[in-house]
A and B are shown apart, each in its own frame.
Chain A
Amino acid sequence: MFGVTTPIETLRVLHQDLFPKAQALGIETASYMTVVFNHPKISKADKDFIKNGIKWLNEEAIIGYKKEYKKLSSKEREAILQIISKTEWGESFLYDVMGYMFEAMLGDPVYGGNNKQAGWEWLKFTGGLPRPKEPYLG
């Protein structure tokens, strides 16, 4: 049913909806989810929950508008977010997605997000020194 849309593509749109400021600052956050999905210190259950959440999000979109989430208008996507945020799974899913999204936006740039420390500068935050020379991938 969703053959043409990868989980990362759905997440890219979802990130844009949840925190458009990141992209306005030139920070691309969705690609970081590849790090998350491959990280040995993140449990399989946590990874599966995100992946299942993406499926359930799309199912909710199909039920409401007969289109997957990515293909909805921004108004329709907002309506879907409002609906799922009132459910137990939806609230947890959005909270977890935001957690990883902010990791990309506000973690050290060595992980590929937080482009030129734009996230830190926006919040007048000075990262601690020394900064990591390489990402910790487990």
Chain B
Amino acid sequence: MVDVCIIGSGAGAAPIAYELSLAGFEVVVLEKGKNYTEADFNKDELAVSRRDIFTPKLEDEFHIINEYQKDGTYKRYDGREYHWSFWNGNMVGGSSNLMSGYFHRLKPNDFKLLSTYGAIEGANVVDWPISYEDLEPYYTKVEKIIGVSGRVVNHSQQEPRSSVDFPYLELTINGAVKWFDAACEQLGFESIPTPRAILSQNALSRNGCYYSNFCGSYGCASGAKGSARAALLQKCKARIITDAFVYKLESDDKRVRKAYYKTRLGAVHVIRAKIFVLAAQAIESSRLLLNSTNKFFPNGLANSSKEVGKNLIFSAGGSGSGRFVFEKLTQAQQKELMEVGVFFNRSLQQWYDYKDGKRKQKGGTIDFLFEHQNIISRVMREVYDNHGNLMWGEALAKKVQKRLTTSRVLTFEVFNDWLPTDKCFVSVDKKAKDKYGVPVGVINLYGHPHDLEVGEYLAQKAVKVLREMGAVEIDYDISASPPPNLVAGGCRFGNDAKSSVLDKNCKAHDLENLYVTDASFMPTGGSVPYTWTIYANSFRVADAIKKVLDVKQ
């Protein structure tokens, strides 16, 4: 029997593996995907972005998606037929290998959304059982161990920090960033350098960023990106078992006893452990619990509250863009604009909360970044003319060449709260099974209308900046489409065992030795990408588990 068995190997899993194995405990990590190293990663657009090398074939593994309709019914989509994938990085380190590493902390008010902003009809907004002050030391720990680069500037929404600045200098930025800063100054907006989980210099036994121009969606070939694999798993002695799909947890009424996993060839294996930690990504963690029924837990493991799978959330908001064309720029500016590799790295958080009439409203974050460099995608965005007709031949060639060589697109991403509701949750399908013969997860989707209002408010601010900068073709899309890489909830933590799955240390209320440490625990998501908070919380839970194991020994 090992001390700790961790299911999954991403940002929620790796801090536990790292901390507990360094503390001398025997830790096993079960990961469905492969284990890669920096030497395996390259910038092959066909493999990474068009053939989805890091995610399963949808014909083998898929989800059923039920989309809520205005008439109160759900429309069913089979992920296989509709090419609708909710997989991210199925590999050691999970999707943290492929993240862009836009790292923002939650703000103190994110931990007390209900008491700060009040209830919203149709939404299950609650306060967290912990405060920002509880998590702050762990945010700081992540900065040092995972490696966060940036520069702290004073702004109206700056959260309290226990250290003055980031431990690593900010990454090199593109010359056009000064246009952004000037536009913000003109508008009275607060431009913030975006913190990134990317090392700007060699440190932590990893190489610094080499500005490959292909960061988000791609594995990092230098180790600069603070993936759970590069920053943690490659540096600890936790035993990693790959090709291990965990399909069932077996328990009695008090403790999980065994984790069963299958290899891709169908061989069944069992792991026994003192403590089990589930961190397989929010949707899959709920799915595993719901599929692990027994006589003690007929509704699924740790589900006496019937809350497992409930209050699934994503990041609400959307994205937009504006184009900078050579005709409106000096030669020097054209050169600055086309400088590739270096980052844009600017954010706005001035409206993280704002007044809407008399009501104090929760807002969010806007990150600015250049359009992804994937050239095939960029060309394919040009194949329609202004009237929506498909183009080809010489006309298309001229358009493509002009657009790609004499202009560049700056994009923005809006992050605001996806309000938790009764209509957005994970369940398992009664009929559809994956290649392992296991019932697939069902994603029941619903976006609260309030999310769109906030997203729209923020997008309008971003548009003002782009306009002030002189961009053309400014456009944006705020929608209730869920970003598959920004998913949380399903096993919310709380003090009341009747209305939450986990206690404040992310241990299941129902079981003595089961923890869930991916983003499942989050009752509300905040208005930033989740990864930094997942890492920080997992380090916090690692300390709690360490205390339990220390007592046992």
Contact = CB atoms under 8 A, between A and B. Distances in A.
Given A94-B390, A102-B380, A138-B51, A21 B46 contact: no
Interface string A20-47: 1100000000000000000111110100
A39 B401 CA distance: 30
A20 B389 contact: no
Contacts of A20: 393-394, 397
Contacts of B390: 85, 91, 94-95
Contact of B58 (A43, A91, A120): A43
Given A20-B394, A129-B212, A124 B405 contact: yes
Given A98-B392, A103-B376, A122-B401, 9 more contacts: A102-B379, A108-B46, A123-B379, A123-B400, A123-B404, A128-B43, A128-B373, A132-B42, A136-B47
A42 B51 contact: yes
Interface string B397-436: 1001100110000000000000000000000000000000
- Scoring B59, B376, B401 by chain A CB atoms within 10 A of each residue's CB, the highest score goes to B376
B44 A120 contact: no
B218 A128 contact: yes
Given A108-B45, A123-B404, A131-B42, A18 B375 contact: no
Contacts of A3: none
B77 interface: no
A89 interface: no
**Top 9 closest A-B pairs, CB basis?**
A128-B43, A136-B47, A128-B214, A132-B44, A21-B397, A18-B392, A41-B51, A132-B42, A107-B46
Nearest to A41: B51
28 contacts: A17-B393, A19-B392, A19-B393, A19-B397, A20-B394, A39-B51, A43-B58, A43-B59, A78-B393, A98-B383, A99-B380, A102-B379, A103-B50, A107-B46, A107-B376, A108-B46, A120-B375, A122-B401, A123-B401, A123-B404, A124-B338, A125-B404, A126-B340, A128-B213, A128-B218, A129-B221, A135-B46, A135-B47
Contact of B43 (A40, A43, A98, A130): A130
B22 interface: no
A91 to B, nearest CB: 6
Contact of A129 (B43, B397, B401): B43
Given A43-B58, A125-B375, A138-B51, A108 B393 contact: no
A40 B56 CA distance: 11
Interface in B55-93: 57-59, 80-81, 83
Nearest to B48: A136
B353 interface: no
A38 B43 CA distance: 22
Contacts of B397: 19-21
B503 interface: no
Interface of A: 17-21, 39-43, 45, 78, 81, 85, 91, 94-95, 98-99, 102-103, 106-108, 110-111, 120, 122-133, 135-136, 138
B326 to A, nearest CB: 12
Nearest to A130: B42
Contacts of A130: 41-43, 221
Contacts of B221: 129-130
Contacts of B213: 126, 128
Contacts of A17: 392-393
A18 B393 contact: yes
B153 interface: no
Interface in B178-220: 210, 212-214, 218
Contacts of B401: 122-123
B53 interface: yes
A100 to B, nearest CB: 9
Contacts of A43: 58-59, 80, 83
A130 to B, nearest CB: 5
A120 B394 CA distance: 18
Contact of A133 (B42, B50, B59): B42
A126 B214 CA distance: 11
B52 interface: yes
B396 interface: yes
B52 A41 contact: yes
A94 B393 CA distance: 12
B52 A131 contact: no
Contacts of B400: 123
A132 B47 contact: yes
A115 B539 CA distance: 49
B134 to A, nearest CB: 40
A41 B47 CA distance: 10
Contacts of A106: 375-376, 379
Contacts of B81: 45
B392 A81 contact: yes
Contacts of A94: 390, 392
Contacts of B214: 128
A95 B392 CA distance: 10
- Scoring A20, A106, A126 by chain B CB atoms within 10 A of each residue's CB, the highest score goes to A106
A39 B52 CA distance: 12
Given A17-B392, A107-B376, A123-B400, A131 B383 contact: no
B212 A128 contact: yes
A106 B404 CA distance: 13
Contacts of B53: 41, 136
Contacts of A103: 46, 50, 376
Contact of B57 (A40, A45, A128): A40
A3 B376 CA distance: 33
Nearest to B56: A41
Contacts of B373: 125, 128
